Structure 1
Amino acid sequence: MAEKVEKKVKAAEPAAEAAPKKGGKKAAKPVEAPAEETAQAKKGGAKGKKAAVEEKPKDEIKYIVRIANADLDGTSTVQYALTGIHGIGIRCSKILSRKAEVDPNAIMGYLPPEQVERLKNVVENFEANIPLWMLNRRRDVYTGEDKHLTGIDLTMGIKEDINLMKKMRSYKGLRHERGQKVRGQRTKSTGRTGAIVGVVRKKEAAKK
């Protein structure tokens, strides 16, 4: 019996020695203070980055740019924004932007005030910056000058020309008066106006 008790005691001693080792490993795991510190440091770094980003001045875009009494789209490029002026096409806008020393592919809303002023001056002096053959009012009827009309001046000029043709009783003026096609298009199958008339069948004669 005594031998059995000694064996049990000897068997318990290694288990007791192993227990502190396991406990030691468990005690080693909770040491997570450096990880928390690093997490706090990361949070602090992220806050610092956000603060740095907020400190940088953001470029404010102008959604509407006013040139030649027209509201131009500030989100589009210069060469396409200038086409918002009635009487200026894509080819003229490219020439005007280059004459004003402005990048045609730059966004209109981000342009500094100096470049916008240069564009205004170039548009106002249109005839001096565009070739003669690109003007839309060559040899004006009333003045004989070569001009380029834009905006409301262009719409009013077109109306005055149509009224002049009507007063002259020219062929085009008469066609304008009657609301018919002016440039020689066919009228049998297209351009019909007025009341819709369907197929009219003759009434059957009364049976005798």
Structure 2
Amino acid sequence: MKQKEFNYIVRIVNTDLDGSKQVPYALTKIKGINQRVAFFVVDKANINRNAKIGLLSEEDVSKLESTIGSLHATAPNWLVNRRKDRETGENKHLVGNDLDLSKREDINLERKIHAYKGVRHELGLRVRGQKTKAHPRKGLVVGVVRAKLVRKEQKRGKTREGEKKQSR
């Protein structure tokens, strides 16, 4: 009986996956694929859910890649991550860098048209209605900085007064 070669790192959709994990759980490391989508992809590709991804043949890996690539056509509308795309109106499922790029483009479009969300993004504030009084504050507390500045000014003032008295 010939033992299969084990790959510790499997590359799918420009992402390195841990070969020691089961197929659906390894697929979740790809940006844009969660557990639900991963199980759907594995079932569509007719691959054993419990198999380690490092033991899959090249055929199975390419089958997974093609299934991920054609997800928008095979998956139900509620499973894809980009429904009714703004440019084309189609349902798409984006993964990897495409997902990052489209998200960035959407934010830039909101900024450009001065939508409320775009303005919030520009100002670096919370976008989804969270309160902004307590936790999102950044930097030092105003009172502490002010007290330090007052102390520095007092020290400077004393040294300057001493210099003036000596010069007379």
Quickly name the TM-score band, shorter chain normalised. 0.7 to 0.9
Q: Offset at 1:196? A: 2.8
Q: Secondary structure at the match of 2:28?
A: helix
2:41 to 92, 96, 112: 96
Query: How does 1:1-208 map onto structure 2 within 5 Å?
Result: 57-198=2-143
Whose radius of gyration is greater, 1 or 2?
1
Aligned letter for 2:7? K
Give the letter aligned to residue 103 of structure 1.
Answer: N
User: Within 1, Cα distance between the matches of 2:46 and 2:119?
Assistant: 47
Q: Secondary structure at the match of 1:198?
A: helix
Contact 1:96 1:129 in 2 (8 A): no
> Is 1:85–1:151's contact at 8 Å kept on the other side of the alignment?
yes
1:114 counterpart SS class: helix
What CA deviation, in whole Å up to 9, does each residue of 1:37-92 have, x standing for no partner? xxxxxxxxxxxxxxxxxxx7543310111211221111100011111211010001
Q: 114-123 or 93-102, which moves further after superposition?
A: 114-123
Displacement over 3 Å in runs of 4+ = 56-59
Q: If the length of structure 2 is used for normalisation, what is the TM-score?
A: 0.81
Aligned 8 A contact 1:62 1:110 in 2: yes
- Whole-Å separation in 2 of the counterparts to 1:145 and 1:128: 10
Q: Give 1:93 deviation, angstroms.
A: 0.5
CA deviation profile, 1:14-40 (whole Å, cap 9, x unmatched) = xxxxxxxxxxxxxxxxxxxxxxxxxxx
Paired-residue identity, %? 47
Distance (whole Å) between structure 1 residues aligned to residue 30 and residue 108 of structure 2: 24
| Deviation sequence 1:90-127 (CA, Å, 0-9, x none) | 00100110110001111000112222221121111111
Whole-Å separation in 2 of the counterparts to 1:58 and 1:102: 19
